[in-house]
Structure 1
Amino acid sequence: MVNSCVCFGCNNSNLSGHRVHRFPNKKHKDFHAWIRFVQAKRSNFAASSLTRHTVVCEKHFTPDSYNQGDLMEFRMGFRRKEWVRLANGAVPSVHAGPPAKSGGSEESNVNVSTRRESARRKRELCTACGTCGNERYWQNQEKVHRNMPACNLLLSGAIHFSGCMASQTIRMLKLFGLQCISPGTFFCHQRYYSIPTIMQAWRNEQRGIIRELKETGGGLILSDQILLDTVPNTVATP
């Protein structure tokens, strides 16, 4: 289902990759503030026309309008963009810009929006040297195979190689309030990375042992120890 923004001059929707937010309950104290915001540019908009698909997109909210914890999890890769929630009492306050001039194109507007988003992310994640101009982008962890966070794989390996139970370990970390992978992610790492690594290490160890045995002078003698029961069976008689 397509949920398009109802604000004047805005064509954003959930399908265009934007966060969209439903109106609060009609009994909520901020409900009429949302209505007034839309009516400021759309005088014919009425509260009676609201449905569960009536939404306002993220472009009409300031960064302070969002739950800061959710935003941090999103930037660290632990939360999907559409799962970032609004803070309590958040009200839309940013109206869409004026319509493009006749010579403008939709592509140019998209490019402007993209540049603004890039500039915003640059201010948040990039530090530049004032002397040489070198730029450094901050990341909480490096990316490895298929753009996977390295620390996630290291955590899965630590749980697996130490013999801990994954579900209990992950639950304990979450009880401590730590950002952590899900059990599904662990088992995916186990299947595609840690188990193949263990098998490869064991094969390498086997090849090393066999190579050493082949180089042993005088050949190899295999023997076993058998423990015989020399005590005869006795039968108790009355």
Structure 2
Amino acid sequence: MKPPKTRFSYVYEDLKRRIVSGQLQPGSKLPSSRNLCKEYNVGIATIKRVLDTLKSERLIDIQMRQTPVVLSQNLKSPDGFTIFEQRDSILQVYETYGRLLPYLLVSAAHSRPMDTMPHYRQAQKAAQQGITPESWKALIALTRDILSASHNPLLCDLHTAFELQGNFSYFLEICALSLDIMPQKPSFEPKAIMEVLSESNPVEQYYHLQALYQDMYDIILETFTQMSDSIPQFSPQVPATFEWNPLRGKDYY
């Protein structure tokens, strides 16, 4: 039985995963210490220890009276072979994501007007550029905003777990194979996704989201199929257990 995680270890490991996975990009700013305290439900002393540790590992830079900034050092994107070794686990993550997210987003999307979400205008502007890494970053940020609007932090934590273990940044921003397949799916046009997220009819929104995430799963599956053609020897699977402990470091009431 694993020992329970301390609040420090939970916050440290979560922020580090978000940086190393590319969810927090080099050059981007971390939330303020006050917002991190609120997000993780911990005291300022814990956040200060976490930030000092990340700084000592050269993952972030901290200047006096400024928000910490993510550094590019020590960041390594996963290669295709490493991803391919985890294909079964990754496909299960996307299948589960597609089953849950339509319900969760429909419920959360009607908590407040879409155009008041923090990343709405950024996502709207990025969607005009078509399928680009920038548009995916903005759309994922808007998805987090929508889940946050439900005032249920469990949903945001779960989505973060999906992002990290589904290697979103790799498939949506780096992998040439998946980026080539996406234009074949009209539902994956960023403008179309913005329309779905802004849909006022919850029933219509649900069915459109269901189709969108089925296409997402199909894109990842086709990406792995094309990868297998370029990898001469069948790669043994490296099982990756999906971990999401909703009580890590937080009290949800």
TM-score (norm 2): 0.19
| Rg (Cα) greater in structure | 1
TM-score (norm 1): 0.20
Task: Give the number of the structure whose residues are more often helix, by fraction.
Answer: 2
